Amino acid sequence: MTELKNDRFLRALMRQPVDRTPVWMMRQAGRYLPEYRATRAQAGDFLSLCKNAQLACDVTLQPLERYPLDAAILFSDILTVPDAMGLGLYFEAGEGPKFRQTIRSEKDLALLSTPKMDDELGYVMNAVRTIRHELNGRAPLIGFTGSPWTLATYMIEGGGSKDFRHCKAMAYSQPEVLHELLRQLALVVTDYLNAQIEAGAQVVQIFDSWGGALGHKAYEEFSLDYMKQIISGLKREHQGRKVPVILFTKGGGQWLDVMADSGADALGLDWTTSLSTARAQVGDRVALQGNMDPSVLYASPDRIRAEVDRILAEYGSGNGHIFNLGHGIHQFVDPAHAGAFVEAVVELSPKYHR
């Protein structure tokens, strides 16, 4: 087992002392980097890039070559799971992901298969193993998945949605069908994350990208309850280290109390929630990750630095903070501005850890 040379991120997730606030960016391997765009062109298309272990490794490591980041995140996609369950993922130019089959009724549930992690999703595990080998202990590797609710929205709508018309209608007119879909997804996602951990992921994050679209009680019923089931079924130690779990619900600031009792080690925050308010709510139950608005990266480096300073002060002194954006970095961001963001965290955060 290769010794981890930088465990700052892991220590912060466990609310242990660190010398400075660790930092990484959601979607840090992505279209804002010219080297990523070149590698994607080499692969031919997005799915081919995901399924080529060496190229997926290359793009995973690209941002670590540019910036002093404290974690790498597996280059993949949340929709690998419904694709492996038989729905047929494809991408339309300018329209995002789509599925050839949708789940709209009890009969449609029969379309779903249970994927084997070393078969239909074996390319993901190959990428994890390749990345861990090439990281050589440089930084921890994050594995991830979409939440059952978020995956279900794509499977029911057939792609992305602004109003979630079909899945919300199902929640209220066919709740038994939606619950069965979510139950199956929770089982598959648990196996999927455990396979990533066994392949070498040292942290896992559940992306509940669309949980914030649900009503107050519906969030617990259709999203949080299934994430809690997943967390309870995960391997929490591997290769002699604890494997932390991060739960991120975009738009979920109003549910921090119940999220903090989910069994996760850390909660991700978007930019609509104050870090100081969140810290007061969760106490020492979980670490907090976030939460700068990605649009700040369109500003000047001086303005970016000022916003980093403000957010660090908002969290205050002590442990348990991982600096991140409140959602994924935008594709049109200047890479130099992303660098200014990371450098500001590195330079300004040590005073909060003395």
Ligand-binding annotation for 31, yes or no, is yes
Find out whether 154 is annotated in a ligand binding site.
yes
Strand 237-238 and strand 241-242: the pairing is antiparallel
Q: What is the DSSP letter of 16?
A: -
* Other CB atoms within 10 Å distance of the CB of residue 334: 12
Tokens of 171: 């929640």
- Catalytic residue, chosen from 7, 58, 77, 83, is 77
Q: What is the Cα–Cα distance from 198 to 207, expressed in whole angstroms? A: 20
Is 327 marked as binding a ligand? yes
The yes-or-no answer on residue 70 being catalytic is no
Per the annotation, the verdict on 40 as an active-site residue is: yes
Q: Which of 290, 7, 341, 321 is nearest to 141 (CA)?
A: 7
Task: Tell me whether residue 265 is one of the annotated catalytic residues.
Answer: no
- DSSP line for 148-212: HHHHHHHHHHSB--SS-HHHHHHHHH-HHHHHHHHHHHHHHHHHHHHHHHHHT-SEEEEEETTGG
Torsion sign over Cα 4, 5, 10, 15: positive
Residue 310 assigned ligand-binding role: no
Active site residue 165: no
Which residue in the list 11, 15, 20, 40 is annotated as catalytic? 40
123 as an active site residue: the answer is no
209 is in an annotated binding site: yes
Q: Which residue in the list 32, 123, 154, 226 is annotated as catalytic?
A: 154
What distances in angstroms separate CA 85 from CA 49, 229, 280, one per listed residue?
20, 20, 41
Q: Please tell me whether 77 is known to bind a ligand.
A: yes
Catalytic residues: 27, 31, 40, 77, 154
Would you list which residues are annotated within the binding site? 27-31, 77, 154, 209, 327
Would you list which residues are annotated within the binding site for substrate? 27-31, 77, 154, 209, 327
